[in-house]
Amino acid sequence: MSDTNEDRTDVQLGDVTVGRGAGGETHQTSGSGVPSLTTQQGVKVADDQNTLTVGERGPQLLEDFAMREKIFHFDHERIPERVVHARGFGAKGVLEAYESLADVTMASPFTEKGKQTEVFVRFSTVAGNKGSSDLARDVRGFAVKMYTDTGNWDLVGNNIPVFFIQDAMKFPDLVHSVKQEPDRGFPQAQSAHDNFWDFVSLMPESTHMLLWVMSDRAIPRSFRFMEGFGVHTFRFVNAAGESTFVKFHWKPLQGLQSVMWDEAVKINGADPDFHRRDLWDAIQSGDAPQWELGVQLFDDAFADEFDFDVLDATKFIPEEVIPVRPIAKLTLDRTVDNFFAETEQVAFCTQNIIPGIDFTNDPLLQGRNFSYLDTQLKRLGSPNFTQLPVNAPRCPMHHFQQDGHMAFTNPVGRANYEPNSWGEEGGPREDPNEGFRTFPRDEQGAARRVRPESFADHYSQARQFYRSQTSVEQTHIANAFAFELSKVETPAIRLRMVAGLRNVDEELAQAVADGLGLDELPDPLPVAADPIDLEPSGALSIIQNGPDNFAGRKVGALVSDGVDAATLTALRSALADEGAMIELVAPTVFGIHDSEGNELEIGQKVDGGPSVLYDAVAVLLTDDAAATLSKDAAAKDFVTNAHAHCKFVAHNDAAEALFLAAGVRSADRDEGYHLLDGEAAMSTAFVEACRDLRLWAREAKVDQT
């Protein structure tokens, strides 16, 4: 057997040379400016293509340490996925304070105006496994780790300000019910099945959250366009030791936006990574998304007089009751360098708070404080997970905790206990002045297992949420309930849920019953406390809180070879002026030129770029291409779906043939359709119309056709 270069059988694959023979090397060798491939022990590897064998076709040799090490490591690459929020996506950035909040908190990010704190954010879905699709109807996690100079503060929130349950003890039941049913292992990333609706229909405290989850909040267009909430009531504590209650809000400066359910279903097929790709692309292109951190501050007197218990996580405080005060700006301007090292290994713990922040007695929060630390040990395998770079504080830390698996930051010196008498050599000491001090709240009472009376009203805020929505949004909520319950196989569960909805709103219950084809409404479920009518809150509607521009949104332009150069240029420039993007979709990815012969960069072949991937569309074709595409199912779907999803459509005259083939007659083409013929003003008018995001007036008409 020879290992000389003469024995190599290199293969030329396009512009890449790959070594294949005995002793063969890849095209990149140590001499060409790239480092040598090594084993984990640092031994350079000569051949990464062929295992050591006896003779050319003989058995493999166990002594091939390079091959065995490679396979061994591969076999152990996976760690347990998160038991909930398994599918997530992280990004890095900075939090910048608007002002000093020293009067209410000594929390380090807010000590002075302009103060910057490094952050890591992980967005997630809850129910689906790690490989599930982004557009599942689900709550989104919005977890923020702030590396402050007084320690790490984790605000582990969601995109919905309330939760399904009032006591952490019910969390395993809730999660079991929504995840795959245990006997069959499906459905994946879906709440539309018997177990989930069985559980929640037996837990009236879930009703308020269900309204949010059946609303378009649960199918956001992008992480960039959704709010975040700390959910629980926390405490701010100032240097004088005074406490103020606080609820945290993240408000996207991009405005709120969601997709329609039919779009969500189709996006999941077309691009299951739609949300993570969106965030990645936005940050990579320099369009860093931003959120304002806002707080609702209140005292004991407000807590006593408010209609609901501020410790009950199934309730929120409307912004009309306590306005949200913006205190800082979050900018996510860096993608992760390595998905596993950062997004997967990041370990959020609700117990990670810093001086100036404290807990309240919210029973959900107290339970979480146990769960998050506990779950990280299971997932990351060692109490030293805090030493992983993504989890390590950026401020100095000194303690006597030692050893354990994978301890790679180890104290030096003799002292590993205190008190000790080793003087300056004796290691760190307590800091009574700057150390964390728990707010000295008064607590007394008998140990009991009891749900407070003040947690009993399960319907009033659900009703308030529903009645705060536009009629378009109300229809979406009713449709979502009907869809989900139609997937439930057990009639009694469907009926129990409709019976519960009667306590929320009779019209909603009726609309759901109609959607299911139910002749007669069941009697309402008994209530523990009579629901009351509360003032609607405009802040709860997505449509009323959209952007006032089209920035950060994307137009999909279906074009063909020979597309009019002036029209395309005018459209591109109007979108660029708005800060919006355009992606070209064409019958092929090579060989498409504009009318002036310029080769166009095509983002998607027509069957890979359905209109559900875009916020608005353009159809700019030649007559020949329109005739050909009129026979193409994907091109017709592009148009039909854009129309059905109430999108704004720019087009040239030639697009007519495709519209007709797609069943969009001229009578169907409303003011959402904009003819473009190269004039800049026409493109500008189209982009201005797009600021509304959708022409909702079309929705009812589409449903009727």
- CB-based contact 175:83 (threshold 8 Å): yes
Give the residue from 253, 266, 190, 257 showing the smallest Cα distance to 221. Answer: 257
CA dihedral 619, 625, 631, 637 (to 10 degrees): -20
Cα–Cα dist 115/94, whole Å = 10
Q: Is 359 in the site for ligand HDE (CB under 6 A)?
A: no
Please give the residues from 112 up to 131 whose contact with ligand HDE meets the rule CB under 6 A.
Answer: 122, 124
> Residues in the chain, how many?
705
The contact pattern for ligand HDE, residues 222-251, with x = CB under 6 A and - = no contact, is ---------x--------------------
Contacts by 170-174, CB closer than 8 A, 24 or more apart:
170/203, 171/364, 171/367, 171/371, 173/199, 174/199, 174/203, 174/206
One residue of 23, 25, 67, 85 binding ligand HDE per CB under 6 A: 85
CB of 206 to ligand HDE, least distance (A): 12
Q: Does position 157 bind ligand HDE by CB under 6 A? A: yes
Nearer to ligand HDE, 157 or 204 (CB): 157
Residue 217: CB partners within 8 Å, gap ≥ 6?
Answer: 159, 160, 226, 258, 542
* Two structure tokens written together for 2: 């020879």
Q: Which of 85, 208, 458, 651 is catalytic?
A: 85
Give the footprint of ligand HDE on residues 282-341 (CB under 6 A). 313
Token pair recorded at residue 292: 């304002």
Q: Report the alpha-carbon distance of residue 209 to residue 231 in Å, rounded.
A: 12
As a whole number of angstroms, the distance between CA 576 and CA 564 comes to 18
Nearer to ligand HDE, 368 or 674 (CB): 368
| Stretch binding ligand HDE (CB under 6 A), from 38-46, 155-163, 569-577, 649-657 | 155-163
Q: Is 82 in the site for ligand HDE (CB under 6 A)?
A: yes
- The whole-angstrom separation of Cα 510 and Cα 505 is 9
Among 120, 147, 163, 225, binds ligand HDE (CB under 6 A): 163
Q: In whole angstroms, what is the distance from residue 192 CA to residue 249 CA?
A: 29
SS3 label, residue 256: coil
Check: CB of residue 204 under 8 Å from CB of residue 525.
yes
State which of positions 32-61 bind ligand HDE (CB under 6 A). none
Q: Does 143 engage in binding with ligand HDE (CB under 6 A)?
A: yes
CB of 233 to ligand HDE, least distance (A): 11
Stretch that binds ligand HDE, among 8-16, 18-26, 365-373, 518-526 (CB under 6 A): 365-373
Contacts with ligand HDE by CB under 6 A: the residue count is 25
Stretch that binds ligand HDE, among 369-377, 539-547, 642-650, 683-691 (CB under 6 A): 369-377
Indicate if 652 belongs to the active site. no
DSSP letters, 410-453, are ---SS--SSS-S-GGGG-----TTTS-----------------G
The only residue of 171, 291, 308, 359 in contact with ligand HDE, by rule CB under 6 A: 171
Distance CA 626, CA 655 (A): 6
In the complex with ligand HDE, the residue whose CB is nearer, 85 or 645, is 85
Contact flag: residue 88 with ligand HDE (CB under 6 A) = yes
Q: Among 91, 101, 156, 511, which residue interacts with ligand HDE (rule: CB under 6 A)?
A: 156
Assess whether 645 carries a catalytic annotation: no
Among 158, 233, 460, 503, binds ligand HDE (CB under 6 A): 158
Q: Which residues are within 8 A (CB) of 199 and not within 5 positions of it... i.e. 6 or more apart? A: 173, 174, 177, 178, 206
Phi and psi, residue 212, nearest 5°: -65, -40
**Residue number closest to ligand HDE, CB atom:** 141
Residue pair 285/438 in contact (Cβ under 8 Å)? The answer is no
Q: Is 83 in the site for ligand HDE (CB under 6 A)?
A: yes
Member of 22, 66, 67, 84 binding ligand HDE (CB under 6 A) = 84
Each residue 371-390 as x (binds ligand HDE by CB under 6 A) or -, in order, gives xx--x---------------
User: In the complex with ligand HDE, which residue's Cβ is closer, 446 or 450?
Assistant: 450
Which residues lie near ligand HDE (CB under 6 A)?
A: 82-85, 88, 122, 124, 141, 143, 156-158, 163, 168, 171, 231, 313, 346, 348, 364, 367-368, 371-372, 375
Residue numbers annotated as active site: 85, 158
